Amino acid sequence: MLEKGKISHRQLTVLSLLYTIGTSILIVPSIMSVFSRQDGWIACLVGVVADITIIFIYSALSSRYPKLSFVEYSEKILGKWLGKAVSLFFMSFIFLLSAFLLRVVGNFMTTHIMPNTPIEVTIILFILVVIYAVRLGLETTARAGEIFLPFVIVLFLFLTVFLLPQIKIDRIEPFLEEGFKPVILGAFYYFNLQEQVILLMLVPYSNRPDKARNALLVGTSIGSLIIIVTVLLSTLVLGTEFTQRNMYASYTLAKQISVGNFLQRVEAMLAILWLITIFFKTAVCMYALSLGTAQTLQLKDYRTLTLPFGLLLVFLSLIVYDNIVSFISFTPKVFSLYATIFMVIIPVLLLSIDTLRASLKKEQSS
């Protein structure tokens, strides 16, 4: 199905970093401004602490079964049939998330880059590239991530440096104007937009699964730092009200940059940066979806599922929500609660059950 040890510890870090940035660099500034206003960057910090905390839980779980994926050790812990039910439930979550990612790509491209191109064309072209990457294998995608990562970092630093002269510090004041409640609410939404639990499907395919925690922590931390800086810049340059009204606030932010007469369309750089990161996040999700389903159904090769899943995702992405307004309403309020089941409740239950079972066996043997 897929050989163990196909990617290095460094490549797992890179994939974690690009996965963390994903769609967040484009849509998080607006969502944080809606719920936490000028304290959105503080909400992101709290959300990052939650992400790092949950990674310790994930690593504790995966360290018990270093050669198995999340789907495989779910069956080990819960038994064959209950484990398969949980695995398929988990696959439904990844499937829905993948549809959201595709729709965000389609909306952004048809709104800002190619307004005369039907959204269906954009989504189909994008998923075909993702399917091709998934079929080439995890190692190939991870190596591509290593190649593209320097470009992502350089583009981000370029955008940050040239926005510094437009910063107005008073736009993030007053701090905690409405107390901690909006910050905690924003942190909850930020935490659930990261979906780090899906990375557990890649851990056993690292050549150092025992070092997976460090890879996930480093990748998540650096990616989160980039998102926090983007949220902070959106508030400092655009202001809270303007950021709230723009779904793709960071893209609007890039439009504020003009470097002389030779570099006018700087926002295209942000679009490239974002397309790279969302490609890798979608590819990871497609891997997890195909691999997990193949493992649950005991298929020989996950690649046979990539094209059918791709076709289904195109269809679902077109009907998953009606417009941007419904997306903004559904994603934080409904999808976040749904994601909590898979990001927190199920991993904690699996770890608790496995720990309890191990302690009972130890008592019986003694």
Residue 358, C-beta contacts closer than 8 angstroms, at least 6 positions apart: none
Question: Which of residues 358 and 217 earns the better pLDDT score?
Answer: 217
pLDDT above 80 for 355: yes
Confidence category of residue 265, pLDDT binned at 50, 70, 90: low
pLDDT of residue 336: 80
Mean of pLDDT over the chain? 85
Task: Give the number of other Cβ atoms within 10 Å of residue 265's Cβ.
Answer: 11
Task: Give the number of other Cβ atoms within 10 Å of residue 45's Cβ.
Answer: 18
Question: Which of residues 43 and 329 earns the better pLDDT score?
Answer: 43
What is the rounded CA–CA span in Å between residue 311 and residue 306? 9
pLDDT of residue 324: 65
pLDDT of residue 159: 83
Cβ 186 vs Cβ 32: under 8 Å: yes
Chain-centroid distance of CA 178 in Å reads 29
pLDDT of residue 204: 87
Question: Which of residues 205 and 3 earns the better pLDDT score?
Answer: 205
pLDDT above 90 for 178: no
Cβ 84 vs Cβ 77: under 8 Å: no
pLDDT of residue 191: 86
Question: Which of residues 320 and 42 earns the better pLDDT score?
Answer: 42
Q: Where are the alpha helices (DSSP H) in the chain?
A: 9-21, 24-36, 40-64, 70-78, 80-108, 119-136, 138-163, 181-194, 212-233, 240-245, 249-254, 267-297, 306-319, 324-330, 336-340, 346-365
Question: Which of residues 258 and 58 earns the better pLDDT score?
Answer: 58
Confidence category of residue 330, pLDDT binned at 50, 70, 90: low
pLDDT of residue 284: 93
Selection from 256, 284, 281 nearest residue 270 by Cα: 256
The vertex-93 CA angle with 357 and 54, nearest 5°, equals: 50
pLDDT of residue 30: 84
pLDDT of residue 168: 83
Single-letter amino acid code for the residue at 349: L
What is the rounded CA–CA span in Å between residue 132 and residue 113? 23
Question: Which of residues 14 and 113 earns the better pLDDT score?
Answer: 14
Cβ 237 vs Cβ 99: under 8 Å: no
208 to each of 10, 61, 306, how far by Cα in Å? Answer: 10, 16, 27
Selection from 110, 119, 132, 146 nearest residue 12 by Cα: 146
Single-letter amino acid code for the residue at 169: I
pLDDT above 80 for 209: no
DSSP state of 178: T
Residue 5 three-state SS:
coil
Lowest mean pLDDT among 118-122, 165-169, 277-281: 165-169
pLDDT of residue 325: 64
* Torsion of Cα atoms, 121 then 127 then 128 then 130, to 10°: 150
Extract the tokens encoding 237: 């340059």
Lowest mean pLDDT among 102-106, 218-222, 267-271: 267-271
| Tens of pLDDT, residues 68-91 | 888 888 888 888 889 899 999 999
Question: Which of residues 146 and 165 earns the better pLDDT score?
Answer: 146
Selection from 129, 86, 89 nearest residue 282 by Cα: 129
DSSP state of 259: B
Q: Count of residues for the chain?
A: 366
Q: Count CA within 13 A, CB hemisphere, residue 238.
A: 28
**What percentage of the chain carries pLDDT values higher than 90?**
24
Confidence category of residue 129, pLDDT binned at 50, 70, 90: very high
CATH superfamily for 9-354 is Amino acid/polyamine transporter I (1.20.1740.10)
Average pLDDT over residues 335-355: 88
Q: What is the DSSP string of 182-217?
A: HHHHHHHHHHHHH-GGGGGGTGGGBS-GGGHHHHHH
pLDDT of residue 287: 92
